[in-house]
């Protein structure tokens, strides 16, 4: 079975540009979450989606948005990129609900120049 897949794996963007990151969850998983990890820190929560509805949002500006599609895949969009948005973006998939195990993709490494 395929695990969580993310694309692209690496990306370089210029300040002010927009970026879209993609995630496909494990088959049968209905919940997708997004995390940002900057160098030397643990991942920080951005969004959670379950059954195509937003269930949680972390402390990130409105430049960050996401959505989940009928096939449970998800996109994370970041507008007006800043240098500080350079990070590893991780997608997690789970069955859903409070106490279910989360599985992560390999991440997308975004560099803003």
**Site map 61..90 versus other proteins, x via CB under 8 A:** ---------------------------x-x
Cα four-point dihedral sign 72, 3, 36, 33: positive
The 3-state DSSP class for residue 85 equals helix
Task: Map the footprint of other proteins across residues 13-52, applying CB under 8 A.
Answer: 33, 35, 37, 41-45, 48
* Nearer of residues 7 and 15 to other proteins, judged by Cβ: 7
* Local structure of residue 66 (DSSP, 8 states): E
Nearest approach, Cβ of residue 7 and other proteins (Å): 14
What is the gyration radius of the CA atoms in the chain, in angstroms?
A: 13
* Local structure of residue 3 (DSSP, 8 states): -
Near other proteins by CB under 8 A: residue from 65, 79, 86, 106: 106
For residues 68-79, one letter each, b for 16 or more C-beta atoms within 10 angstroms of the residue's C-beta and e for the rest, the string is beeebbbbbebe
Near other proteins by CB under 8 A: residue from 38, 51, 55, 63: 55
Taking CB under 8 A as the binding criterion, the range among 22-30, 67-75, 77-85, 101-109 that sits at the site for other proteins is 101-109
């Amino acid at each position: 079975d395929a695990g969580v897949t993310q694309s692209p794996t690496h990306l370089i963007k210029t300040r002010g540009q927009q970026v879209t990151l993609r995630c496909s969850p494990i088959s049968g998983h209905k919940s997708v979450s997004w995390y940002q990890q900057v160098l030397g820190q643990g991942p920080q929560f951005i969004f959670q989606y379950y059954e195509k509805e937003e269930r949680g949002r972390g402390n990130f500006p409105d430049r960050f948005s996401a959505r989940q599609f009928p096939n449970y895949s998800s996109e994370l969009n970041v507008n007006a990129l800043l240098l500080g948005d350079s990070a590893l973006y991780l997608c997690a998939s789970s069955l859903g609900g409070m106490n279910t195990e989360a599985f992560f993709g390999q991440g997308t490494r975004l560099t803003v120049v």
